[in-house]
Amino acid sequence: MSKIATDFGVDSALKALGINPINEGSSTGSNNFGSGELLASYSPVDGALIGKVKTTSPVDYEKVMTAATSAFLTWRKKPAPLRGEIVRQFGEKLRELKKPLGKLVSYEMGKSYQEGLGEVQEMIDICDFAVGLSRQLHGLTMHSERPGHRMYEQYHPLGVVGIISAFNCPVAVWAWNTALAWICGDVCVWKPSEKAPLCGVACQNIAAQVFKANGLPEGISCLVNGDYKVGELMTHDQRVALISATGSIRMGKIVAQAVAARLGKSLLELGGNNAIIVTPDADIKMTVIGAVFGAVGTAGQRCTSTRRLIIHESIYDKVKGALIDAYKQLRIGNPLDEKNQVGPLIDSDAVAMYQKALQKVIDEGGKLIDEGGVMKGVGYESGCYVKPAIAEAQPKFEIVQHETFAPILYLLKYSGDVQNAIEIQNGVVQGLSSAIMTNNLREAERFLSVSGSDCGIANVNIGTSGAEIGGAFGGEKETGGGRESGSDAWKIYMRRQTNTINYTTELPLAQGIKFDL
């Protein structure tokens, strides 16, 4: 292990999570079989090798699917409250291992240790939510138009749920899906990002302990590792009833087409191009806190990261000045060191994308207020650390219309009524998260009205980044329309069935149709 990994206890964290730090070997499925090539995981924190996992071959995949489909036949028969008890135990295991898992998330992905702990807390929270939900998978009772008939609806498990997750939230998004899917009686096959495979191994190890202790089939939770080719096996597989995919819009369109071709179900949570509107009635201090955390948290690699700040011309210079002062105070460095606020980008490809975006701003006629750049010197040897950048731009710039997964904040000016700002906010293809900073009740209500934000998430006086477990998470337009986590998001993991019971000795037909024999 590297010096940073040793000094900050990553080696002991891996041990606590049951991971061999150099060669994890097979981790492709619930039964620890695998014959694919080795996939190496390097930390963006210091560039060091953390470990290796075996990727999933087509033969391995078939073994995984056999285990999963077999386990479903047992798992679906468990009453939902008993399934809830298993999820409760899983949540307790996460509480025990919160610190080591949070440390692995931080080291393998690069987000701050505080954010790593926060991500594991999200896993714990969704388990708590799911346990309560296990006694509330309600259907409806309807009145039949036929005398002596009872009519109602109920929900049944779908079967195998395939989960494709992204590197930026390497454990929480899986848990959002898995905890609900398990409660609903489904089994899960998970392909974590190839950029954070050890986080997947760690979660699989934790889940396997719980299922083994309860004498349940391992196939309830399965793991497959590899690149997009492994994902393609899932998306084209008729046995996978639902594909939940988190990632780029480009990836989501490919997944959607493949799943739709076989008339399967998709849950898509794709890109965001999130904006905060700042009106003349905004609290500037609150605005700066929300905007800075939203723009630089996780080094701008959240799907809910703040990309655009739409500021009224009357306060534009004041807000810009406050942001410049705030950015000067940011501490960039090793994310395991809790003194630092901004860690690295995930890899060199992300750095190149960041640099290309900054150049594009200049080429389109924009201006870099803070030029950004790649960090050099001691502590930045991985080459993945960059300075959060602020740019003045126009709403229709091509670069502003696209999501760059990096800490770049575009300042956009608006004039006149708040509706002008709302039109700018809505003028992109993405529709994930949005916010308005204002103490004006009318502006806030207009932002939340039918003619306001067109995003799946719309906030008042908080930023775009982050979400609570209790609310459904997801967005509209090319963000995909999927919903995960809270509210009634559980329904996508189940199939709805309408039932009619005739408790008479006659057989009246609907709509009064006569069919006498």
The one catalytic residue among 127, 188, 303, 455? 303
What's the rounded Cα separation, in Å, for the pair 186 and 221?
A: 10
User: Smallest Cα–Cα separation from 110: which of 6, 19, 196?
Assistant: 196
Structure tokens of 104?
């692995």
Instruction: Name residue, tokens 């406050």.
Output: 322
DSSP 140-180: -EE--SSTTEEEEEEEEE-SEEEEE--SSSTTHHHHHHHHH
What does the block give as tokens for 300? 């701008």
Nearest to 221 by CA among 238, 234, 209: 209
Beta partners for residue 243, in sequence order: 162, 266
Chain-centre distance for alpha carbon 486: 13
Annotated catalytic residue 108 = no
Q: Are 160 and 191 in contact (CB under 8 A)?
A: no
Indicate the pairing of strand 306-312 with strand 274-278: parallel
The enclosing H or E element of 240 equals: strand 240-246
Say how many C-beta atoms besides its own lie within 10 A of residue 506's C-beta: 8
**Phi and psi angles of residue 226, each rounded to the nearest 5 degrees, phi first:** 145, -170
d(CA 78, CA 91): 19
SS3 282: coil
Which one is catalytic: 194, 269, 443, 478?
A: 269
First CA to last CA across the chain, in angstroms?
82
Q: Under DSSP, is residue 29 helix (H, G, I), strand (E, B) or coil? A: coil
- What is the dihedral sign for C-alpha 39, 44, 45, 48? positive
User: Distance between CA 391 and CA 394 in Å, rounded?
Assistant: 10
Tokens standing for 511? 């709509």
Contact of 411 with 418, CB cutoff 8 Å: no
Residue 119: both structure tokens together: 């991500």
Give the number of other Cβ atoms within 10 Å of residue 142's Cβ.
12
* β-bridge partners, 494: 157
Q: Is 403 marked active-site?
A: no
Distance CA 450, CA 454 (A): 8
Q: Which residue has the tokens 């025990």?
A: 96
Cα 340 to its chain centre, rounded Å, is: 24
Query: Could you list the active site residues?
Result: 269, 303
